Structure 1
């Protein structure tokens, strides 16, 4: 059976701030909607499901990120995940210039969890705590520099 990756979806507390963060990093917004009704109740498994959504993609469209902010039911605040917790871990992006990406993240109040690391002569990378506590890995391929 052929299979194709579609997207990763993340619930956020502030859709506009999260869109701004990811578009400043270089993702493109490709659509927005507000969804509700029986079909969303069935698909998501929540009665009265009502959310604002935005779809972002990497340049070229090979990766998509769906962001959604709940209108109903109320969003449930949780502690941000830690890198070693079971479940959704992080979303990762390759960047041409890690220092530039970190400067953009900093303008959104987002800093590395610990610092910048090197994976041999292959990658310079870091985990950043993004909007709504999302862990975002940013990696620069040193072989392309």
Structure 2
């Protein structure tokens, strides 16, 4: 059986703000839609499931991110996850210029949780809190031409 990762889905508080953040970091919008109906209720497991969605893609064409804003049932606010909590908690983006990416993130009010780290001679990286509390890891590979 062949398997491939298709996308990562994340519920957000404000779809437009989340799309703006990720497109400013270089992802492109493949499409937007509003989804509801019996099939959606069955697939997701929520009665009356009704969401606005946007599918984004990384510039290399391999990574996809599906963002969705619940219209019904009402979205449930939770505490933002911490890096050591069990479960899905971050989206990692490889960038060719970490400083430029951090400037873009700062324009959205998003800053590193602690600072920028250097992992040996391989990467400069940081975690930041993106829209709706999403933890985003930005990593610049060192020594790449």
Which residue in 2 is equivalent to 1:28? 28
Q: Distance in 1 between matches of 2:107 and 2:55?
A: 22
Extract structure 1 runs of 4+ deviating beyond 2 A: none
Q: Distance in 2 between matches of 1:144 and 1:16?
A: 33
Q: Distance in 1 between matches of 2:90 and 2:127?
A: 9
Which residue in 1 is equivalent to 2:49? 49
User: Deviations for 1:87-145, whole angstroms, at most 9, x for unmatched residues?
Assistant: 11201010000000000000000000000000000000000100000000000000215
Which residue in 2 is equivalent to 1:71? 71
Q: Which blocks of at least 5 consecutive residues in structure 2 are unaligned?
A: none
Q: Distance in 1 between matches of 2:119 and 2:71?
A: 41
Q: Distance in 2 between matches of 1:60 and 1:132?
A: 25
| Superposition TM-score, scaled by structure 1 size | 0.99
- Secondary structure of residue in 2 paired with 1:80: coil
Tell me by how many angstroms 1:60 deviates.
2.8
- How many residue pairs get aligned? The number is 145
* RMSD (CA atoms): 0.6
Q: Which blocks of at least 5 consecutive residues in structure 1 are unaligned?
A: none
Which residue in 2 is equivalent to 1:115? 115
Which residue in 2 is equivalent to 1:139? 139
| Superposition TM-score, scaled by structure 2 size | 0.99
Q: Distance in 2 between matches of 1:15 and 1:2?
A: 32
Q: Distance in 2 between matches of 1:89 and 1:78?
A: 13
